[in-house]
Structure 1
Amino acid sequence: MVFSTEANYKESFATAVTHLITQDMPVQWRIKAVDDLIETYLKQVGEIPDSDQLERLTNYILKDSKNQPDKVSNTEYPVFSDWQQKHRCRREVPLEHLGKMAVAVKRTGIRFKHREKRRRIA
Structure 2
Amino acid sequence: MVFSTESNYKASFAKAVDLLTTQHMPVQWRVKAVDDLIEAYVKQVGEVPNDRQLERLTNYILRDSKNQPDKVSKTEYPELNEAQWKVRSNREIPLEQVGNFSVETKRVGVRFKHRDKCRRIA
CA root-mean-square deviation: 1.9
Deviations 1:12-49 (A, max 9, x none): 11110000011111111100000000000111111111
Question: What is the count of residue pairs matched by the alignment?
Answer: 117
Structure 1: tracts of 5 or more residues without a match: 118-122
The partner residue of 1:114 within 101, 113, 117 is 117
Distance between the aligned counterparts of 1:90 and 1:9, measured in 2?
49
Q: How does 1:1-122 map to 2 (within 5 A)?
A: 1-99=1-99, 101-111=101-111, 113-116=116-119
Distance between the aligned counterparts of 1:48 and 1:55, measured in 2?
13
Identity %: 66
TM-score of the superposition, structure 2-length normalised?
0.82
Secondary structure of 2:117's aligned partner? coil
TM-score of the superposition, structure 1-length normalised?
0.82
| Aligned-residue offset at 1:102 | 4.5
Distance between the aligned counterparts of 2:119 and 2:45, measured in 1?
59
Distance between the aligned counterparts of 1:26 and 1:108, measured in 2?
48
More helix by share: 2
